[in-house]
Structure 1
């Protein structure tokens, strides 16, 4: 696979598309990544994270763009600073473009891996060439280019798109080894931040590419802080490596990251590390100065999800201290991620089935309901998230009604 910058000119961009239509403008935007003007770099970065990778969806334009980006990683100009194009962290200084490009590659790899899993396809099944269907693709592109064409508004419902998107996944899986090879030199970069982001990208790309565990020994030898150490452990988690040795690490953040490995789902020590970490959810959220990209939101959300997945209704009594800590921390905006899983577990709600209305809760269930009632940050807002969570679990949505049920 060619990751050199000349992919900008060797790709027929007119025959591919992204979230907003034909990708004919891709060369102009991508060239801006190496511009001397920061606003041009920021504009190009925004293009990557909106059009090329859009809300976790990849497109036919994504594989060649990823290969182009990988070819820039060792370019000296990739050290130029650039701000978050979406203003998500206005208080943070501009970061080197190289870090943003590594994050983009990691996000692409994770999105492709998730989309592959959603299709319930093995890597072997995916790598069966889905075919080109050039005539059909050309017709789709023509309709995209002409927004006034009859039926243009229905284009995203065209059944041919399934083949087109599968082709994009196919191309990304094929490109993964080349992308990983482009990241590899940065694993021992003198800048610790570059090492950390390169490690994270390597882990995500291993997950996508079906590669054997990437050699992180050089990065481990150079690791200087918790952020770097956690990035290495999380890369092993994503790449399918063995993290069991880190369950006895003196740092609770490293122990919890190691516990997230799917291979340790039945390990009581790993489950204990998750429970220990969630005894103080706010502390877990503050573990990292530069939160690893493995965590899509607050660190505690991933810990809660893993703990719920590994627990049974019979564990509810033991998990009550964790739930109380989460209920005291949660807000209406985070009620779904913080509370729904454990509360549903305590109520015996079966995923995928309608929850029966709770009428006579047990002692343990009353304790869970009381924790929600006592969580002052959850109430007094017009945000409906908490109401949806309670309704989906067969519970009353008003605080006093829930308090009455909790004291029955």
Structure 2
């Protein structure tokens, strides 16, 4: 399977598509990554993160684009810094790190495609249908032709993306693997994330031993423990680690979902959610936002309604950090534990003392109720609760 410049040259990009239409524009957008032109490289990054991988969705053009990127990772010019609004905080970082991040995100996106056996594949389109669809995608006014995206042929082409990405996964992994021992620790972290995602996509176990041997910080250790968990391995040994961040990362592993000690570790980490949010200098990609968001979601997923009283101190610790912008992400999962009968008739009658205590805690933070942003209010209504402070106060009996 070709990688690098050969892909850019030999792929019939007119027979691919991305979020905005035909992939025929890919060579012009991606070629600057070969020349070292700073402005062109940043535009190429923007193209990769917006068109080729749009909000986590992969397309037929994503496959050759990922193979192209995989084949240029060892180029010295990729040590140059670049900035793109599609990465965390829009901060400047070496091109190599940003491209490793793209490969990790592309593999993660492909993991959401139907796996073999998940569903019956659509009827393969005829060559005539393919010619018709690609002609429409390559037409000058294709961007304005919404009907082409509704064509059943497009469904069949989108279905192919998953198998094609899975077929490319071993090649992507082999390209990323040497960077697990890169001299720069942040590059190693990006490589661990990309290698793990490619291995999960390909259905094989990644060898992270080189990165583990070189790990020299909490950030690196956390990324490796998270990767071990994502690979399906047992992380129980790390639950006894001296570092609370490492223990929490071990507790997040799917293998620990039924382990009460792991659940207790998540609750312990959220006893001081501000400290958890400040754990990392370079936050692992596993945490797409504040660390407390992921910890709270995992804790709530493993909790039963009977755990609501035990988790009340966690909610009270979270509320001061919350706001109407993020309430659904941090306190929202815990509210769902306390109010499991969302949507059922009479769900908000005859509340227990614990449920009233949950609601009372929400009233202590003005930021949960200020402004016009309705995120948190919508979440409350989804639980069958009033969406306003007055209604919550009345229900809580305060």
Partners in 2 of 1:169 and 1:132 — Cα distance? 17
What residue in structure 2 maps to residue 83 of structure 1? 83
Q: Is the 8 A contact 1:285 1:298 kept in 2?
A: yes
Q: How many corresponding residue pairs? A: 398
In the alignment, does 2:153 pair up with 1:155?
no
Counterpart residue number, 2:131: 138
What is aligned with 1:247?
239
Which residue is 2:281 aligned to?
289
**Are the structure 2 counterparts of residues 110 and 45 from structure 1 closer, same or farther at C-alpha, using a change threshold of 3 Å?**
same
Question: What are the residue-to-residue correspondences of 1:264-303 with 2, within 5 Å?
Answer: 264-303=256-295
Tell me the CA shift for residue 131 of structure 1: 4.9
Q: What is the distance in 1 between the residues matched to 2:136 and 2:344?
A: 42
Give matches, 1:163-178, under 5 Å: 163-178=156-171
Match of 2:198 in 1: 205
1:222 and 1:146 map into 2 onto residues whose CA distance is 51
- Equivalent in the alignment of 1:358: 348
TM superposition shift of 1:355: 6.9
Q: Secondary structure at the match of 2:5?
A: coil
**Deviations along 1:150-207, whole A, 9 cap, x unmatched?**
x932222222222111111110000001100111111111111111110111111121
Do the aligned residues in 1 keep the contact of 2:14 with 2:138 (CA within 8 Å)? no
Q: How does 1:53-72 map to 2 (within 5 A)?
A: 53-72=53-72
Q: 1:182 to 1:331 in 2, by over 3 A?
A: same
Instruction: Give distance in 1, aligned partners of 2:267 and 2:164.
Output: 40
Which position in structure 1 is the counterpart of 2:27? 27
- CA distance in 1 between counterparts of 2:151 and 2:214 reads 50
Could you say which residue in structure 2 is the equivalent of 1:8?
8
SS at match of 2:331: helix
Q: Does 1:383 align with 2:357?
A: no
Structure 2 residue 365 is matched with structure 1 residue 372 = no
Equivalent position SS for 1:289: coil
Measured in 2, the distance between the counterparts of 1:85 and 1:387 equals 29
Structure 2 CA distance, aligned partners of 1:135 and 1:98?
41
Indicate the SS of the match to 1:374: coil
- Please say if residues 131 and 167 of structure 1, whose CA atoms lie closer than 8 Å, have aligned partners that are also in contact: no
**2:186 maps to which of 170, 184, 193:** 193
Contact 2:18–2:61 (8 Å) recurs in 1: yes
Separation (CA, whole Å) in 1 of partners of 2:240 and 2:87: 39
Structure 2 distance, partners of 1:20, 1:55, is 12
- One of 388, 392, 396 as aligned partner of 2:382: 392
2:222 maps to: 230
Given that 2:125 and 2:153 are in contact with CA atoms closer than 8 Å, whether structure 1 keeps it comes out as no
Q: 2:104 matched to 1:106? A: yes
- State whether structure 2 residue 35 is matched by structure 1 residue 42: no
Which whole-Å CA distance do the structure 2 matches of 1:128 and 1:357 have between them?
A: 42
**Which deviates more, 23-32 or 233-242?**
233-242
Report the Cα offset of residue 115 of structure 1.
3.0
Q: Is the 8 A contact 1:146 1:152 kept in 2?
A: no
How many angstroms apart in 1 are the aligned matches of 2:250 and 2:88? 28
Of residues 113, 116, 141, the one that matches 1:115 is 113
When the two structures are superposed, what TM-score results if normalisation uses the length of structure 1? 0.92
User: Contact 2:113–2:159 (CA<8 Å) still a contact in 1?
Assistant: no
Q: 1:12 to 1:302 in 2, by over 3 A?
A: same
State the TM-score, normalizing by the size of structure 2: 0.94
In the TM superposition, structure 1's runs of 4+ consecutive aligned residues that sit over 6 Å from their partners are 126-130
Aligned residue in 1 for 2:175: 182
Runs of 5+ unmatched residues, structure 2:
none
Contact (CA 8 Å) 2:348, 2:384: kept in 1 or not? yes
Contact 1:42 1:83 in 2 (8 A): yes
